[in-house]
Amino acid sequence: MLTRAQLDALVARREAGRPAQVVEVAALDADGWARLAAAGQRIYCDGGILDVDAGELVIVELAPGVSARDLQALVAPTLKVRHDVVEISLVEAAAPRQD
């Protein structure tokens, strides 16, 4: 699972000011996931990265050591799995240095 600092680093590097949701999987119930899906924004969670496609949550990347099955076990709605799912690079998820 990814830490909040790793998630924040990924969002900062990848989204460049575009809206994105950052959540902890355990913090959401079915209604919370439904609200996120309705917002239509990319979701960064400790288990991976999800896109919203036609109101459905789609796994696009997984945290190191987390399988699609592992993530599904933690999330209330049924997740779709994109055919080209990759593992998130821990190098990219490293928090930027604070000088």
pLDDT tens-digit profile, the chain (99 residues): 898 888 888 888 888 777 788 998 888 888 988 888 888 889 999 999 999 998 889 999 999 999 999 999 998 899 999 999 999 988 877 766 555
In a domain, 19, yes or no: yes
Q: How many domains does the chain have?
A: 1
DSSP assignment of 22-86: EE-GGG--HHHHHHHHHHT-EEEETTEEEEEETTEEEEEEE-TT--HHHHHHH-SSPEEEEEEEE
Per-residue confidence (pLDDT) for residue 97, from 0 to 100: 53
Whole-prediction pTM value?
A: 0.84
Q: Is the residue at 95 inside a domain?
A: no
Q: Judging by DSSP bridges, how do beta strands 20-23 and 48-53 pair with one another?
A: unpaired
- Whether 63 maps to a domain, the answer reads yes
**Closest among 78, 76, 35 to 59, alpha carbons compared:** 78
Hey, which residues does 56 pair with through a beta bridge? 53
- pLDDT of 36 reads 87
